Chains A and B, each alone.
Chain A
Amino acid sequence: MAERILDVKNLEINFHTYAGDVKAIRDVSFHLDKGETLAIVGESGSGKSVTTKSLMGLLANNAEVVGGSVMYHGQDILKKSEKEMQNIRGKDIAMIFQDPMTSLDPTMKIGQQIAEPLMKHKKMEKKKAWAQALDILKLVGIVDPEKRINEYPHQFSGGMRQRIVIAIALVCYPEILIADEPTTALDVTIQAQILDLMKELQSKIETSIIFITHDLGVVAGMANRVAVMYAGKIVEYGTVDEIFYNPQHPYTWGLLNSMPTLSSTLLEAIPGTPPDLLDPPKGDAFAARSTYAMKIDVEQEPPFFKVSDTHYAATWLLHPDAPKVTPPTEIIRRQKLFAEMSVNKSVKA
Chain B
Amino acid sequence: MSEKKKKLLEVKHLKQYFNVGKSDLVKAVDDVSFDIYEGETFGLVGESGSGKTTAGRSIIHLYDPTDGEIIFDGQDINKLKTRQEEHAFRREMQMIFQDPYASLNPRMKIKDIVAEGIDIHHLAKDDAERSKMVEDLLEIVGLNKDHSSRYPHEFSGGQRQRIGIARALAVQPKFIIADEPISALDVSIQAQVVNLLKDLQEKQGLTYLFIAHDLSMVKYISDRIGVMHYGKLLEVGTSDDVYTKPLHDYTASLISAVPIPDPEFERNRKQIVYDSAQEIDDENKPRKMHEITPGHFVRCSEDEVAKYKKRAASYEE
Which A residues are closer than 8 A to B by beta carbons?
A: 43-44, 158, 187-193, 195-196, 214-221, 240-241, 244-245, 254-256, 258-262, 264-265, 267-271, 273, 337, 341
Q: Which of B186, B254, B263, B269 contacts A240 (CB 8 A)?
A: B263
Closest to B215 in A: A188
Are B257 and A191 in contact (CB-based, < 8 A)? yes
| A245, B261: Cα distance in complex, Å | 10
| A4, B270: Cα distance in complex, Å | 32
Q: Which of B191, B254, B265 contacts A220 (CB 8 A)?
A: B265
The proximity string for B residues 37-81 relative to A, scoring 1 for CB distances below 8 Å and 0 otherwise, is 000000000011000000000000000000000000000000000
Known: A244-B261, A261-B216, A261-B260. 14 other contacts (CB 8 A): A187-B47, A192-B256, A216-B187, A216-B261, A221-B269, A241-B264, A244-B263, A255-B187, A262-B216, A262-B255, A264-B220, A269-B194, A270-B191, A337-B264
B residues near A268, Cβ cutoff 8 Å: 191
| A158, B49: Cα distance in complex, Å | 11
B169-205 contacts to A, CB under 8 A, are 186-192, 194-195
Q: Which of A188, A240, A269, A337 contacts B188 (CB 8 A)?
A: A269
B residues near A43, Cβ cutoff 8 Å: 186-189
B33 at the binding interface (Cβ < 8 Å): no
B262 at the binding interface (Cβ < 8 Å): yes
A residues near B157, Cβ cutoff 8 Å: 44
Q: Which of B186, B220, B262 contacts A260 (CB 8 A)?
A: B220
Are A189 and B47 in contact (CB-based, < 8 A)? yes
Are B257 and A215 in contact (CB-based, < 8 A)? no
B253 at the binding interface (Cβ < 8 Å): yes
Q: Which of B186, B187, B257, B262 contacts A244 (CB 8 A)?
A: B262
| A244, B266: Cα distance in complex, Å | 12
| A214, B257: Cα distance in complex, Å | 17
Q: Which of A221, A245, A269 contacts B195 (CB 8 A)?
A: A269
| A295, B259: Cα distance in complex, Å | 38
Closest to A337 in B: B264
Are B186 and A44 in contact (CB-based, < 8 A)? yes
| A220, B219: Cα distance in complex, Å | 20
Q: Which 7 pairs from chain A and chain B are nearest by CB?
A: A217-B259, A269-B191, A221-B266, A258-B191, A187-B47, A216-B261, A270-B188
Are A262 and B219 in contact (CB-based, < 8 A)? yes
Q: List 6 A-B contacts (CB under 8 A).
A: A44-B186, A221-B267, A244-B262, A261-B262, A262-B255, A271-B192
| A94, B276: Cα distance in complex, Å | 35
Please give the distance in Å from A150's CB to the nearest CB on chain B: 24
Are B269 and A189 in contact (CB-based, < 8 A)? no
Closest to A256 in B: B261
Please give the distance in Å from B24's CB to the nearest CB on chain A: 15
Please give the distance in Å from A267's CB to the nearest CB on chain B: 4
Contacts A43-B186, A187-B48 given; does A260 touch B263 at CB 8 Å: no
Closest to B217 in A: A260
Are A262 and B188 in contact (CB-based, < 8 A)? no
Are B262 and A188 in contact (CB-based, < 8 A)? no
Closest to B193 in A: A269
The proximity string for B residues 152-180 relative to A, scoring 1 for CB distances below 8 Å and 0 otherwise, is 00001111000000000000000000000
Closest to A270 in B: B188
| A192, B158: Cα distance in complex, Å | 28
Please give the distance in Å from B139's CB to the nearest CB on chain A: 16
B residues near A219, Cβ cutoff 8 Å: 261
Closest to B198 in A: A267
| A341, B260: Cα distance in complex, Å | 19
Please give the distance in Å from B187's CB to the nearest CB on chain A: 5
B120 at the binding interface (Cβ < 8 Å): no
Contacts A216-B261, A337-B264 given; does A188 touch B213 at CB 8 Å: yes
| A43, B157: Cα distance in complex, Å | 12
Are A189 and B253 in contact (CB-based, < 8 A)? yes
Q: Which of A158, A215, A271 contacts B259 (CB 8 A)?
A: A215
| A341, B264: Cα distance in complex, Å | 10
Please give the distance in Å from B236's CB to the nearest CB on chain A: 18
Contacts A43-B188, A260-B217, A273-B189 given; does A220 touch B259 at CB 8 Å: yes
- Central interface residue in B262, B264, B267, by most chain A CB within 10 Å: B262
B residues near A240, Cβ cutoff 8 Å: 263
Please give the distance in Å from B271's CB to the nearest CB on chain A: 5
| A157, B158: Cα distance in complex, Å | 30
B residues near A271, Cβ cutoff 8 Å: 192
Are B257 and A267 in contact (CB-based, < 8 A)? no
